[in-house]
Amino acid sequence: MRTILLAYLAICITTTAAFAPPAFGLGALFRPPNIKIIKSDGIRLEEAGKFFVDAFWTGKVGGGADTLSPKQAFQLERQQVAEFNKRYRRRAAKQSGRLPGNYAGQSLDSSSELVLCVNGSDEVIGCAGVEVSRIKKMDGYDSSFSGPLMSNLAISRKYRRKGLAEDLVKAAENIARREWGYDDCYLYVEKRNTPAIKLYQKLGYKSIWEDDSATTLLPTGDGRIANGKTTIVCMKKRIGAGLFGNLFG
């Protein structure tokens, strides 16, 4: 009896894995219709930056602001759009000199990507970034190494608890593994953001170090944007080939 049950489970698991579209997990079962996960390809960054301020900064854990004042929103949007442009805009390739005319400078810098979740009217309702970055080691020597770092994960309040964050994380991991060839993925998260930490743990991330000397910006209840102390947790997940990676990944 037990073996039959196990065999049955094995079939279910492999079937789900084999037939699910690559970027989507079990969350796909509960996803509202017409929602898509797409790459920003370096465009729509202004739209994404504004979305991010609304979804992430408003009511940020540890801050005192349930809604942002117009001044806070303006200031944060300007900073966030600049930040997204710096990280995810396509930069001209260094060796573009040999390409003719219009193609010169159009080669894509492929080591950073912002993945977007858009709804039926093509509006951004979620995002996640991934980029090859220096990752700190916390070994007492201030050393670092190069690896894919996931960041800027946010889902619009209206669309939470539908598995979309999981889909965005998986899409970002797929880019790091399939397009850039990495076996591990990393992220930094604030320790007090327990919902986020729980989500990452569920998706296979494990804490590798904590830094309690970090600072973060927080919108306050009285309309300012203050600098606050926080503890950053670095988490890591093995996304490499493994036993089933190439078959079902």
CB of 75 or CB of 156, closer to ligand NAG: 156
Could you please report the per-residue DSSP string of 96-123?
-TTS-GGGTT-----SEEEEEEE-TT--
Cβ neighbours of residue 209 closer than 8 Å, sequence gap 6 or more: 136, 137, 138, 233, 234
The interface region with ligand NAG, picked from 20-28, 74-82, 102-110, 121-129 by CB under 6 A, is 121-129
d(CA 247, CA 249): 6
Query: How many residues of this chain bind ligand NAG (CB under 6 A)?
Result: 7
Binder of ligand NAG out of 72, 112, 119, 230 (CB under 6 A): 119
Interaction between residue 125 and ligand NAG (CB under 6 A)? yes
- Are 29 and 180 in contact, with CB atoms under 8 Å apart? no
The residue type at 54: D
CB of 117 or CB of 150, closer to ligand NAG: 117
The interface region with ligand NAG, picked from 11-19, 74-82, 114-122, 161-169 by CB under 6 A, is 114-122
The interface region with ligand NAG, picked from 58-66, 120-128, 133-141, 235-243 by CB under 6 A, is 120-128
Residue nearest ligand NAG (C-beta atom): 120
d(CA 152, CA 150): 7
Q: Using alpha carbons only, what angle is made at residue 162 by residues 56 and 46, rounded to the nearest 5 degrees?
A: 35
CB of 119 or CB of 230, closer to ligand NAG: 119
Count of other CB atoms within 10 angstroms of residue 140: 6
Interaction between residue 41 and ligand NAG (CB under 6 A)? no
Interaction between residue 155 and ligand NAG (CB under 6 A)? no
d(CA 167, CA 174): 10
Interaction between residue 127 and ligand NAG (CB under 6 A)? no
Residues forming the site for ligand NAG (CB under 6 A)? 119-121, 123, 125, 156, 158
